[in-house]
Amino acid sequence: MTRRAALAGAAAAGIGAGIGRVVDAPVASADADPDSSTEAVSFHGPRQAGIATPQQSHLAFAAFDVTASSRQTLRRLLQQWTAAAAALTAGREYAPDGSKQRRGPSDPGEAVGLPPAQLTLTFGFGPTLFETGGRDRFGLAHLRPAPLEPLPAFPGELLDPARSGGDLCVQACANDPQVAFHAIHLLARIAGEGASLRWVQRGFWPAGGPNRPTPRNLLGFKDGTANIRGGDEAAMNRFVWVQPSDRPTWMHEGSYLVVRRIEIMLESWDPLPLAEQERAIGRHKRSGAPLGARRERDLLDLHATDAHGNPVIPLDAHARVASPAGNAGQRILRRGYSYSDGSRPGPADRGGHQIDSGLFFIAFVRDPQRQFVPLQRRLATHDALSMFTVHTASAVFACPPGTGRDGFIGERLFT
């Protein structure tokens, strides 16, 4: 029974406060139709959802450390998480054996009455799951993908180890923050004694899609104009999905997930004159058009020069430094979220507190060493934006392929 059906049953029996109109909205087919924002996204399939899926409005991301030492416990945890994910993404309550649990209700319940809200749950394995300090904890060391190395240090970063890394991760995305929160809450509860929560990050992102304006980040600029579209199979196969020719074979149809918590120093960015903000980005703020062009999707012409022979797109503009042309043609699928986590102490010369916010950068790539590492090396040293940002957390995970109704996430590691 779905949460909706449970509610409908309750309403039919004269119990509860009735059904909201959103919950009752007719099912829409197009992803861009706001009416589809409450519907379910299928969890099962050859690839995990939450990668090519059009980006939902809310994120709850959690990393875990496996505390159990047995391979069997890890396997059982992945099986339980898979069963829970299938239920939650369909809008059902988690009820592993249909009976009440002695140690509290099996589902904490805050999503009862809420629609599926396009919840996707995407699981990943960190480098430490395969080997920690030379120890092969679960007999998986020989299966560790070569591209799954801890990221190297980059200039200027100030990483907080408590917010970085992790043996396992879950990316919960939904169009309702309570649905995304509930998923992480429930999965953390299921983890029980087998794994313990390491860190959590929530985020938000305006609804996008073909009939909506490109969302803006907290710099106030449109973000994602040149991004890979999840529906672009050719680009997805080339840059995002692990291919049959790649090793290890258990990662085929999987992808690698890179996260970077990028704090934006708004107290320095906001006072920057508009023209300087636009030169730092390489695009106009209002339209999103490349400097020197008129429309958002006009060509980013890196060779254009002004009357004095100077480049129209400055050499240190973010759009130039991040462009495929400057990175051996490499592209990445960005799927990040803005965050705002209260306040933090401001710079010493100003005192008081500042808003603690920025971009929780998420990228999916076919090979982080070839795609993300060289790109981030360039950005850290050449990007004008790096004056206004600081990377405060980092992690990389291997996201295995999806699974069918009888399998579980990561099953190929245990055959």
- Residues numbered 266 to 295 that lie near its own copies (CB under 8 A) are 266, 269-274, 277, 285-289, 294-295
Q: Which amino acid is it at 86? A: A
Minimum gap (Å) between residue 235 Cβ and its own copies = 19
Residue 235 vs 266, nearer CB to its own copies: 266
Interface with its own copies includes 36 (CB under 8 A)? no
Kindly state whether residue 128 participates in binding its own copies, applying the rule CB under 8 A. no
Q: In this structure, are residues 401 and 254 in contact, taking their beta carbons and an 8 Å threshold?
A: yes
DSSP 290: B
380 φ/ψ angles, rounded to the nearest 5 degrees = -65, -25
Residue 287 or 310: the one with the smaller Cβ distance to its own copies is 287
Beta-bridged to residue 132, according to DSSP, are 135
Q: Which stretch binds its own copies (CB under 8 A): 11-19, 121-129, 244-252, 321-329?
A: 11-19
The b-or-e profile of 322-342 (16+ CB within 10 A means b, else e) is bbeebbeebbbbbbbbbbeee
Task: Please tell me the total number of residues recorded for the chain in this structure.
Answer: 415
Nearer to its own copies, 141 or 390 (CB): 390
Report residue 94 as tokens.
């988690």
Q: At 384, which amino acid appears?
A: A
Nearer to its own copies, 317 or 375 (CB): 317
Pick one of 87, 169, 172, 219: the residue that binds its own copies (CB under 8 A): 219
Region binding its own copies by CB under 8 A among candidate stretches 107-115, 148-156, 299-307, 323-331: 107-115
22 binds its own copies (CB under 8 A): yes
- Cα four-point dihedral sign 290, 296, 301, 306: negative
**Is 7 strand, coil or helix?**
helix
**Nearest approach, Cβ of residue 137 and its own copies (Å):** 17
Q: Where in 274-324 does DSSP place strands (E)?
A: none
Q: Nearest distance from residue 378's CB to its own copies, in Å?
A: 26
**Single residue of 105, 156, 161, 329 touching its own copies by CB under 8 A:** 105
Subset of residues 333 to 362 that bind its own copies, contact rule: CB under 8 A = 338, 340-343, 346, 350-357
Residue 8 as a binder of its own copies (CB under 8 A): the answer is no
Tell me how far apart the alpha carbons of residues 73 and 317 are, in angstroms, rounded to a whole number: 49
**Total site size for its own copies, rule CB under 8 A:** 94
Q: Which of 21, 142, 308, 405 binds its own copies (CB under 8 A)?
A: 21
Q: Which residues of 137-160 are buried (b: 16+ CB within 10 A; e: fewer)?
A: bbebeebbbebbeebeebeebebe
Q: Does 213 bind its own copies (CB under 8 A)?
A: yes
In the shown chain, the binding pattern of residues 222 to 251 toward its own copies, with x for contact by CB under 8 A and - for none, equals ------------------------------
- Is 220 near its own copies (CB under 8 A)? yes
Name the minimum Å distance from CB 24 to its own copies. Answer: 9
End-to-end distance of the chain based on CA atoms, in angstroms?
32
H/E element, 59: strand 58-66
217 binds its own copies (CB under 8 A): yes
State the minimum distance, in angstroms, from the CB of residue 385 to its own copies. Answer: 15
CA count, 13 A, side-chain hemisphere, 324? 12
DSSP string covering 124-141? EE-HHHH-BTTB-TTS-G
